[in-house]
Amino acid sequence: MKTSNAGGTVIDQPKSREAVKPAVDKATTSKPAARQSKIYIDGKFYSEADAKVSVFDHGLLYGDGIFEGIRFYNGRVFRMEEHLERLWDSARSICLHIPMSQRAMGEALLETVRQNNLRDGYIRLIVTRGVGNLGLNPEQCKTPSVIIITAQIALYPEAVYKNGLSLVTCATRRTNPSALNPAVKSLNYLNNVMARIEANQANADEGLMLNDEGNVAECTADNVFIIKRGQIFTPPITAGALRGITRSVVFEIAAETGIKVIEADITRHEMFVADEAFLTGTAAEIIPLVKADGRPIGTGKPGPITTRMISRFREITRETGTPIYA
Ligand code: PMP
Map residue 186 onto helix, strand or coil: strand
- 244 CB within 6 A, ligand 1: yes
Q: How confident is the model at residue 12, as a pLDDT?
A: 52
State which ligand 1 atom lies nearest to the alpha carbon of 220: 3
How remote is the CA of residue 219 from the centroid of ligand 1, in Å?
A: 9
The predicted pLDDT at position 9 comes to: 45
Sign, CA dihedral 232-225-122-175, equals positive
In ligand 1, the atom with minimum distance to the C-alpha of 185 is: 5
Residue 282 Cβ inside 6 Å of ligand 1? The answer reads yes
Test site for ligand 1: of 1, 174, 223, most ligand atoms within 8 A of the Cβ? 223
Quote the pLDDT of residue 15. 52
Beta-carbon contacts of residue 319 (< 8 Å; ≥ 6 apart): none
Coil vs helix vs strand at 194:
helix
Atom of ligand 1 nearest to the CA of 182: 3
Using a 6 Å cutoff on CB, does residue 126 contact ligand 1?
no
The three-state DSSP-derived secondary structure of 286-325 is EEEEEEECCEECCCCCCCHHHHHHHHHHHHHHHHCCEECC
Check residue 36 and give its pLDDT: 85
DSSP-assigned letters across all residues of 29-88:
HHSHHHHT-EEEETTEEEETTT----TTBHHHHH--EEEEEEEEETTEETTHHHHHHHHH
In a structure prediction context, what are the per-residue pLDDT tens digits for the chain, which is 326 residues long? 333 333 444 445 455 444 333 333 323 333 434 468 999 999 999 999 999 999 999 999 999 999 999 999 999 999 999 999 999 999 999 999 999 999 999 999 999 999 999 999 999 999 999 999 999 999 999 999 999 999 997 677 889 999 999 999 999 999 999 999 999 999 999 999 999 999 999 999 999 999 999 999 999 999 999 999 999 999 999 999 999 999 999 999 999 999 989 999 999 999 999 999 999 999 999 999 999 999 999 999 999 999 999 999 999 999 999 999 98
User: Which residue puts its alpha carbon closest to atom 2 of ligand 1?
Assistant: 221
281 alpha carbon – ligand 1 mean position (Å): 5
Listed in order, strand segments (DSSP E) in 143-214 are: 145-151, 165-169, 206-210
The alpha carbon of 71 and the centre of ligand 1 are apart by a number of angstroms equal to 12
Of the residues 83, 237, 242, which should be mutated to test ligand 1's pocket, given the most ligand atoms within 8 Å of the CB? Answer: 242
Question: CA of 31: how far to CAs of 12, 72, 225, 312, in Å?
Answer: 20, 22, 38, 34
Catalytic-labelled residue, pool 15, 38, 185, 291: 185
185 is catalytic: yes
pLDDT of residue 7: 41
pLDDT at position 35: 60
DSSP 149: E
Q: Which residue minimizes the CA distance to atom 10 of ligand 1?
A: 222
Contact between residue 124 and residue 148 where contact means Cβ atoms under 8 Å apart: yes
Ligand 1 close to Cβ of residue 280 (< 6 A): yes
Pocket test for ligand 1, best of 222, 245, 285 (most atoms within 8 A of CB): 222
- What Cα–Cα distance (Å) separates residue 191 from each residue in 66, 129, 175, 243, 283? 15, 20, 7, 17, 19
Q: From atom 9 of ligand 1, which residue's Cα is the shortest distance away?
A: 222
Distance CA 60, CA 78 (A): 28
What number of CA atoms fall less than 13 Å from residue 208's CA on the CB side?
A: 28
- Out of 282, 286, 313, mutate this one to test ligand 1's pocket (max ligand atoms within 8 Å of CB): namely 282
The answer, yes or no, to whether any atom of ligand 1 lies below 6 A from the CB of 175, is no
Pocket lining: 246 vs ligand 1, CB cutoff 6 Å? yes
Which domains are assigned to the chain?
26-151 (3.30.470.10), 158-319 (3.20.10.10)
User: Which residues, 6 or more positions from 291, have their beta carbon under 8 angstroms from its beta carbon?
Assistant: 164, 165, 166, 167, 297, 300
Cβ of 222 less than 6 Å from ligand 1: yes
Integer Cα distance of 89 and 67 in angstroms: 11
Taking the C-alpha atoms of residue 223 and residue 219, their distance in angstroms, rounded to an integer, is 6
